[in-house]
Amino acid sequence: MSGKIPVGDLVAECLKRIGVRVAFGIISVHNTPLLDAINRRGATRFVMVRGEMGGTHMADAYARVSGALGVVITSTGPGAASAASGLVEARFAGSPVLHITSQSSTRFIDRDVGTVHDVPDQLAMLRSVSKAAYRVHSAATVMGTLMHAAAQALTPPMGPVSVEIPIDVQMAQIDRPHALTQWALPLPPVLAPAPQALDALVSLVGQSSRPLLWTGNGARGAGYAIARLAQLGIPVATSWNGRGVLPEDHPLSIGPLATLPEFERFYAEVDLLIVAGSRVRGHETRDGAMALPARRVHIDVDQRADGRTFTNALFVHADAALTLSALAQRLDGHWRAANAHAESVGRVKAEAVANYRRTLGTYQTLPDIVRDAMPRDAIWVRDISFHQTTWANRIFPVYGPRDSIYSVGAAIGTGMPLAIGAALAAPGRKTVAMCGDGGFLLNLGELWTAVQEKPDVCFLVMNDQGYGVIRHIQDATYDGRRFYDHLLGPQLELLAKSAPMPYWRVTRLDQLGAALQAALRQHGPTLVELDMAAIGPFQPRHSVPSYAAPR
* pLDDT per residue as tens digits for the range 88-144: 999 999 999 999 998 777 877 776 766 766 778 899 999 999 999 999 999 999 999
Grade residue 547 by pLDDT with cuts at 50, 70 and 90: low
Among 436, 428, 406, residue whose Cα is nearest residue 419? 406
Give me the domains of the chain, ranges plus CATH numbers.
4-182 (3.40.50.970), 195-353 (3.40.50.1220), 359-548 (3.40.50.970)
Is pLDDT of 540 > 90?
Answer: no
> Looking at residue 183, what is its pLDDT?
75
**C-alpha span between 443 and 289 (Å, rounded):** 35
> Looking at residue 107, what is its pLDDT?
74
Residue 282: strand, helix, or coil: helix
> Looking at residue 476, what is its pLDDT?
84
> Looking at residue 32, what is its pLDDT?
94
405 or 485, greater pLDDT: 405
Residue 470: strand, helix, or coil: helix
Rounded mean pLDDT, 313-333:
98
Among 276, 270, 121, residue whose Cα is nearest residue 208? 270
- Quick: pLDDT tens for 237-281: 999 999 999 999 999 999 999 999 999 999 999 999 999 999 998
At how many degrees (to 10) do helices 195-206 and 320-331 cross? Answer: 50
475 or 162, greater pLDDT: 162
Is pLDDT of 459 > 80?
Answer: yes
> Looking at residue 549, what is its pLDDT?
57
- Quick: pLDDT tens for 16-59: 999 999 999 999 988 999 999 999 999 999 999 999 999 999 99
> Looking at residue 374, what is its pLDDT?
98
What burial class does residue 114 get, using C-beta atoms within 10 Å of its C-beta: 0-12 exposed, 13-18 middle, 19+ buried? Answer: exposed
**C-alpha span between 325 and 303 (Å, rounded):** 20
Is pLDDT of 1 > 60?
Answer: no
Radius of gyration of the chain (CA): 24
Amino acid at 199: D
Is pLDDT of 492 > 80?
Answer: yes
> Looking at residue 5, what is its pLDDT?
92
Cα dist. 4→32, 109, 437, 547 in Å? 19, 26, 52, 58
Is pLDDT of 69 > 90?
Answer: yes
Is pLDDT of 431 > 70?
Answer: yes
Average pLDDT, the chain: 94
Element (H, E) at 70: strand 70-74
> Looking at residue 178, what is its pLDDT?
81
- Quick: pLDDT tens for 138-175: 999 999 999 999 999 999 999 999 999 999 999 999 99
Under 8 Å CB-to-CB from 195, ≥6 apart: which residues? none
> Looking at residue 155, what is its pLDDT?
97
Query: What's this model's pTM, rounded to 2 decimal places?
Result: 0.95
> Looking at residue 406, what is its pLDDT?
97
Grade residue 541 by pLDDT with cuts at 50, 70 and 90: low
**C-alpha span between 337 and 238 (Å, rounded):** 19
> Looking at residue 181, what is its pLDDT?
78
Is pLDDT of 550 > 70?
Answer: no
> Looking at residue 116, what is its pLDDT?
65
**C-alpha span between 466 and 489 (Å, rounded):** 9
Grade residue 177 by pLDDT with cuts at 50, 70 and 90: confident
> What are the respective helix, strand and coil percentages of the chain, to the nearest 5?
45, 15, 40
Q: How many other CB atoms are found less than 10 A from the CB of residue 32?
A: 17
Q: What percent of the chain has pLDDT over 90?
A: 84
What burial class does residue 513 get, using C-beta atoms within 10 Å of its C-beta: 0-12 exposed, 13-18 middle, 19+ buried? Answer: middle
* Dihedral sign computed on CA atoms, order 70, 399, 429, 17: positive
